[in-house]
Amino acid sequence: MTAKISASNNQRLKNILETIANQQNISHIDGLLDCLNALVYEINVKTTGKTKNFQNLLKRLLPNSEYIQKQRININDFTILKVVGKGAYGEVALVRHTTSQEVFALKTMNKAEMVKRDEALCLWEEREIMAFSESEWIVKMLYAFQDTINIYMVMEFVQGGNMVNVMSSYDVDEEMAKFYIAEISLALDFLHNMGFIHRDVKPDNMLLDKNGHIKLCDFGTCVRMNKNGKVVCNVAVGTPDYISPEVLSSQSSNVTYGRECDWWSVGVFLYELLLGDTPFYSQSLVGTYSKILSHAKTLKIPEDAEISKETKDLIHAFLCSSEVRLGRNGIEEIKKHPFFKDVLWKWDEIRTFTPPIVPELVNEIDTSCFDFEEQTDKELLPLAKSALVLRMKI
């Protein structure tokens, strides 16, 4: 081989190595190894694998495949300490890495269940957001891997529970509400600037870290916006009590909407924080959906509600038509709303401010802020509370 050819080959090899080392590239080494394992699995279990040629190929690939799989991070590297949550696709558990002894949250998702609902799941978006955001507002993912049954995501363990726990344990006043609405607004603004819409903003998906600050989680319903800041969708995704009218309308036809659908959910959250229930609650899904679609008539704030006119105005500014909804032009118009006048913190320094509630934690594996053990599976997975595809006709 001549020196010129050798130099050319070395450069090509360098280019390949750079490509497979890039974690944001679909051809990253982990993806290629997944393909190798998938190929071996297909040959090994399918009918075609019984032919002589495939058996010869399997004989060559299987030893390397098994060795590589053992070297890669896998479920055996973790010890499950406690299950802290369950959902439509699987569960979240507190785990300890057996070598480093570090504590993480492990999200396990069943592949079969995910395939059944593929139109509602945005796995690649979820991975990209948590793995590459580098934001204190977003729950961080450290590792992701799979086996023949499940997909696993190893995430930072956010110990402080979620806003559901806060609302059930404390009487939230307006000053507290200002803080939490500001933090979730900043978290959503970061996500929107990444180019994504969440579509399932609710108290369950607002975790509190050990200091009491909000971290946004559960990005399985996220979708990337186009260059105009919009998405076109014909499937209504979200949780019934928090879903916006424009997203709900998409279940019957192609509907274009943008980040403003998340601000609707923030309005529902604010209402619930201070008044104790969601504004469009009904005993039936049809009733809830009907109220949301006719929100101009059905949105009512109780006359005896002890909240300021600024709070009432902000609720109405969020829970209105998408064309005039507060936040549709960005977070700056939210910051300027009178609801936030005279706050004790600065928006760009809010995470240095002591939150209204700071979790009391004993150690790194304290799960006292999660009340999972007090709930049944039926309560954890109600149809009306799951972030599923909504197909009910109105």
Judged by average pLDDT, the poorest of 22-31, 69-78, 199-208 is 22-31
Q: What pLDDT does residue 392 have?
A: 33
Judged by average pLDDT, the poorest of 48-57, 89-98, 167-176, 258-267 is 48-57
Cβ contact 212:353 at 8 Å: no
Distant-in-sequence, close-in-space partners of 363: CB < 8 Å, separation ≥ 6: none
Domains and CATH numbers, the chain: 14-71 (no CATH), 77-156 (3.30.200.20), 161-352 (1.10.510.10)
Higher pLDDT, 174 or 70: 174
β-pairing, 206-208 vs 141-146, is unpaired
Mean pLDDT of 346-357: 97
Q: What pLDDT does residue 160 have?
A: 96
Judged by average pLDDT, the poorest of 202-216, 332-346, 361-375 is 361-375
* 3-state secondary structure string across 272-304: HHHHCCCCCCCCCHHHHHHHHHCHHHHCCCCCC
Q: What pLDDT does residue 119 have?
A: 45
Instruction: Quote the CA–CA distance of 264 and 156 in Å, as a whole number.
Output: 28
Report the mean per-residue pLDDT for the chain.
87
Cβ contact 128:120 at 8 Å: no
Work out the pLDDT band at 19, boundaries 50, 70, 90.
Answer: confident
Cβ contact 72:33 at 8 Å: yes
Judged by average pLDDT, the poorest of 26-30, 167-171, 297-301 is 26-30
Instruction: Quote the CA–CA distance of 161 and 208 in Å, as a whole number.
Output: 6
Work out the pLDDT band at 48, boundaries 50, 70, 90.
Answer: low
Higher pLDDT, 242 or 70: 242
Give Cα 354 to chain centroid, integer Å.
25
Instruction: Quote the CA–CA distance of 235 and 119 in Å, as a whole number.
Output: 8
Is it the case that residue 373 has pLDDT exceeding 70?
no
Mean pLDDT of 273-284: 96
Distant-in-sequence, close-in-space partners of 342: CB < 8 Å, separation ≥ 6: none
Q: What pLDDT does residue 46 have?
A: 67
Cβ contact 71:122 at 8 Å: no
Is it the case that residue 221 has pLDDT exceeding 70?
yes
Q: What pLDDT does residue 49 have?
A: 52
Is it the case that residue 283 has pLDDT exceeding 80?
yes
Instruction: Quote the CA–CA distance of 58 and 43 in Å, as a whole number.
Output: 7
Q: What pLDDT does residue 120 have?
A: 45
Q: Which residues are annotated as a binding site?
A: 107
Q: What pLDDT does residue 177 have?
A: 98
Instruction: Quote the CA–CA distance of 130 and 359 in Å, as a whole number.
Output: 24
Render pLDDT for 316-331 as a digit per residue (tens, 0 to 9): 999 999 999 999 999 9
Q: Which residues are annotated as a binding site for ATP?
A: 107
Choose from 40-49, 135-144, 252-261 the range with maximum mean pLDDT: 135-144
Q: What pLDDT does residue 372 have?
A: 59
Mean pLDDT of 79-104: 91
C-alpha angle with apex 16: 11 to 19, nearest 5 degrees?
125
Is it the case that residue 388 has pLDDT exceeding 50?
no
The residues annotated with a catalytic role in the active site are 200
